[in-house]
């Protein structure tokens, strides 16, 4: 049996977590003294890549996926959904196949990646709403195409982002929900009626709300108000300081209700890279500016983010509270992927300890435990093998 200690971010109380055989076997209060916070491992529903590894590239290998899992774990993200964006069917299928093969080959990958998120291709074809997705590959919903992609990856797709403006969208949503797929609305110019119909059919989320939308909108109605007002939809937010201003994010979270807010990174392969011009599978020709934001060259359109989830948690903690921010990055997203991100007896021992003070722009992760295994003991040499 192992013991890991820290302060509860919600209450400040000291916690002693007992771990055996990869699960939490006990939680004791006030019995240890620690100068770190403790929380469940972070859960990220939207990861396109990180640290040079691009999940949307056909050059991505099984080894790359295994390495990405370990790198993100050491940064506190113990569960994440690889996110495959709008592309030709063959390319999407190839990317899905690589992830499926990595899960089959590596138990840690299998644990860290419960399913895959398809962001597209059934999104808005309109400029602005479409974001960095290639317009030539945007297409209407197709049950046949979805079945083909699922068959090729062993039913690994667990979340789909789409725009419900397409004819037959509600029926498509209902069919996916019937298969246990989480449907999220995003990159959409849909009307209020179409958004409500999708929610009635079982859609449960809004993908990076406030982004993937035109720069100028009617005051009302518009897709932002309609999704904020729809209580059947939780909302994902990218808290990198570029996708949403602090004031906008705070107001939208308050409108949606903190219990229905989810933080995502939307990290891409270029996350963490220095300023300059690059070529990327997500967005094509892109530029990283002084603020670390990744934009399409010659445009203000964003092409994913340059953060990992612990950075977003710190930004939201500065605006709200540490406990609230962590809930948005653990149990709230975890509810959409097999109840991950919880700290309770019987749960997987996916735990992080970290230091954070108001004003910090990231969590200073100290130790990471994945199913009872302390990841911080891994060397870079081992991570790269």
Give which of 97, 102, 126, 122 is closest to 112, Cα–Cα. 102
Q: Does 243 appear as a known binding residue?
A: yes
Q: What would the DSSP string read from start to end of 91-150?
A: HHHHHHHHHHHHHHH-HHHHHH-S-EEEE-SSS--STTTTTTS-GGG-----HHHHHHHH
CA separation (Å) from 239 to 268, 275, 277, 315, 327? 14, 20, 23, 7, 14
> Is 205 in a helix, a strand, or coil?
strand
Q: Does 132 appear as a known binding residue?
A: yes
Is residue 373 reached through a cis peptide bond, with omega within 30 degrees of 0 on the bond before it? no
Q: Does 212 appear as a known binding residue?
A: yes
Q: Does 180 appear as a known binding residue?
A: no
Catalytic annotation, pick one of 64, 240, 266, 281: 266
Q: Does 63 appear as a known binding residue?
A: no
Q: Does 100 appear as a known binding residue?
A: no
d(CA 79, CA 136): 32
Angle between helices 246-256 and 309-319 (to 10 degrees): 80
d(CA 253, CA 3): 35
Place of tokens 């108001």: 358
d(CA 185, CA 212): 10
Q: Does 303 appear as a known binding residue?
A: yes
Mark whether 266 is an active-site residue. yes
Q: Does 137 appear as a known binding residue?
A: no
Q: Does 189 appear as a known binding residue?
A: no
Q: Which residue positions form the known binding site?
A: 119, 132, 187, 208, 211-212, 219, 243, 302-304
Q: Which residue positions form the known binding site for Zn(2+)?
A: 119, 187, 208
Q: Which residue positions form the known binding site for substrate?
A: 132, 211-212, 219, 243, 302-304
Catalytic sites, residue numbers: 266
């Amino acid at each position: 049996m192992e013991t890991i200690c820290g302060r509860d971010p919600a209450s400040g109380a000291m916690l002693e977590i007992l771990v055996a055989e990869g699960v939490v076997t006990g939680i004791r209060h006030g019995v240890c003294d620690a100068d770190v916070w403790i929380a469940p491992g972070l859960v990220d529903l939207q990861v396109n890549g990180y640290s040079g590894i691009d999940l949307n590239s056909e050059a991505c290998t099984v080894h790359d996926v295994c390495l990405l899992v370990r790198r993100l774990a050491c940064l506190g993200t113990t569960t994440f959904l690889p996110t495959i964006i709008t592309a030709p069917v063959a390319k999407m299928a190839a990317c899905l196949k690589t992830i499926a093969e990595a899960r089959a080959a590596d138990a840690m990958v299998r644990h860290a990646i419960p399913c895959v998120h398809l962001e597209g291709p059934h999104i808005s074809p309109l400029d602005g709403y479409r974001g960095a997705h290639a317009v030539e590959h945007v297409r209407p919903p197709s049950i046949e195409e979805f079945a083909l992609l699922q068959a090729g990856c062993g039913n690994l797709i667990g979340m789909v982002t789409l725009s419900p403006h397409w004819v037959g969208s509600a029926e498509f949503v209902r069919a996916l929900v019937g298969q246990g797929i989480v449907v999220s609305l995003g990159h959409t110019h849909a009307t209020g009626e179409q958004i409500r119909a999708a929610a009635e059919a079982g859609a449960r989320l809004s993908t990076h709300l406030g982004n993937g939308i035109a720069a100028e909108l009617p005051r009302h109605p518009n897709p932002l108000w309609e999704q904020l007002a729809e209580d059947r939809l939780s909302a994902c937010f990218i808290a990198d300081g570029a996708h949403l201003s602090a004031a906008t994010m705070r107001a939208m979270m308050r409108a949606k209700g903190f219990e229905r807010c989810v933080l995502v990174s939307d990290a891409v392969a270029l996350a963490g890279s220095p300023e300059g011009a690059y070529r990327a599978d997500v967005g094509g020709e892109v530029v990283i500016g002084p603020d670390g934001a990744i934009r399409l060259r010659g445009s203000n359109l964003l092409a994913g983010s340059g953060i990992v989830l612990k950075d977003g948690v710190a930004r939201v903690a500065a605006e709200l509270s540490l406990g609230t921010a962590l809930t948005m990055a653990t149990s709230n997203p975890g509810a959409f992927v097999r109840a991950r991100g919880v700290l309770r007896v019987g749960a997987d021992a996916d735990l992080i300890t970290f230091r954070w003070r108001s004003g910090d722009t990231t969590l200073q992760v100290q130790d990471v435990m994945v199913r009872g295994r302390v990841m911080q003991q891994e060397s870079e040499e081992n991570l790269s093998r």
